[in-house]
Amino acid sequence: MQCSMARVWMRWCLALGLLTGWMLPTGLTAEKSATDSRPNILFCIADDWSWPHAGVYGDPVVRTPTFDRLAREGVLFTHAFSAAPSCTPSRAAILAGRYPHQLETGANLYGPLPAKYPVYPDLLEAAGYVVGYSGKGWSPGDFEAGGRTRNPAGPRFQNFQEFLKTVPPDKPFCFWFGSHDPHRPYDKGSGAAAGLRAEAVRVPPYLPDTPEVRQDILDYYAEVERFDRDVGRMLAALERAGRASNTLVVVTADNGWPFPRSKANLYDAGTRQTLAVRWPARVPAGRTVSAFVNLAELGPTFLEAAGVKRPPEMTMRSLMPLLEGKTQRGRDMVFLERERHANVRRGHLGYPARAVRTARFLYIRNLAPERWPAGDPELWHSVGPFGDCDGSPTKDFILAHRDEPQGRRFFELCFAKRPAEELYDLDKDPDQIVNVAGRPEYAAALKRLRAELERWMRNSGDPRLHGDDGFDRFPYSGAPVRGAPGATGATSPPES
């Protein structure tokens, strides 16, 4: 009888222990503790927003109080770059933690992201996170063509507030907010109506300084400000939910601003990004990091922050050491690339290019210099003449004045064919206007950067190193190509 009562007592104690966490089997208590302390992740990505267009970077016109606040309360990066200056491949690289050329069809605008490449939202969801997105997730493209059953960014929600209602209080979440701002088209005059001052705008030297261009830039700024306000509302929702302290907030953009010689180009105006990161519970505040980072490293960063092992398919490393105030080797340069953007060249061809950016130089290798970098001069399929450059008052002005002595310079910079190699000395030419690749005094730098780029292409398995043109043969998915085999989707011009 006493033995029987003892057994009952032991069973009762064991049951009580399993319910309260006392006397748990080895590892279970640690797992529960880790789950409770894992951070939420709020990723906010703008559509076509460039560095340095934020108040904290010194822009004298645009007002970005939310982004500036995040920079003060967290870490501001000054040398962050998108993996590619194009929506689909840039977003695919962030999600999959790989260079675009390592993603097969995912390297192209409208190219499907193959399901064999894991993406961080799926991995976090499998580890117990509640995931979701609103707005523009992985896009544009057809995710089903890549063998997926949903957008790689996760299940879709109307907005962040609606998503938060679905998250249990004891569960961590990962949310992707994909704004459509500041993607074109703009409401003409919206910048001036918002009180922005055209006379204070800094017009970069690759664009003509005219009233039309200044007003176009103001309209772009107005949408940047709207994105900033949207992020501010999400931060307020976080605070109301009591989740702000342990939420890793990242704010950035997918590629450069939609102006000539910018988006879809490997110059800084197409690839250099705004980036601020805040995580009060773990990341020291008020720091500026000048190390070179690639936005494709965000996926591995989110996994490490959540304590989820990075799969071998994710070849990029994490930014967590930098966020924690440590240093990392190899942060003195970044590699960039582009393949097919819009369908704007006869034969459905892209404009393949690779680049390496250091503190002193930008070296670009144009792998098909016989092609037009912004697309054919005549409409082929999408957008219009020189269709890799979005339609805009600025583009219209340059093309309208292309045959005039003062206008030809801007046409040459923005739309003319380019040599196989470009080299820019950023100490003397921060806007990357004067190509010094042929000057004898830069021969040593050119040789060194050419070798760095080739070594990266070789080590990362870039098919272009050996002249493989497979990226040009991939069909569009979600945007049809006249006469191209395997094309699917609607007949409207593609969003880029």
Residue-wise pLDDT for 323-344, tens only, equals 999 999 999 999 999 999 999 9
Distance from C-alpha of 214 to C-alpha of 359, rounded to nearest angstrom: 29
CA angle 149, 126, 309 (to 5 degrees): 120
DSSP 8-state assignment for residue 230: H
Q: CA dist 91 to 104, 305, 398, Å?
A: 14, 20, 30
Distance from C-alpha of 229 to C-alpha of 145, rounded to nearest angstrom: 35
Residue-wise pLDDT for 80-135, tens only, equals 999 999 999 999 999 999 999 999 999 999 999 999 999 999 999 999 999 999 99
Q: Which amino acid is at 209?
A: D
On average, the pLDDT of the chain sits at 90
Residue ranges per domain, the chain?
A: 34-332, 337-481
Residue-wise pLDDT for 364-423, tens only, equals 999 999 999 999 999 988 888 999 999 999 999 999 999 999 899 999 999 999 999 999
pLDDT at 489 over 90: no
For the chain, the distance separating the N- and C-terminal CA atoms, rounded to the nearest angstrom, is 78
pLDDT at 13 over 70: no
Report DSSP letters for 417-445, one per residue. Answer: ---SEEEEETTT-TT--S--TT-GGGHHH
pLDDT at 7 over 80: no
Burial of residue 435 (CB within 10 Å: 0-12, 13-18, 19+) is middle
CATH 3.40.720.10 fits domain 34-332? yes
- Give residue 25's pLDDT: 28
Tell me the percentage of the chain whose pLDDT exceeds 90. Answer: 86
Let me know: does 268 contact 205? Beta carbons within 8 Å.
Answer: no
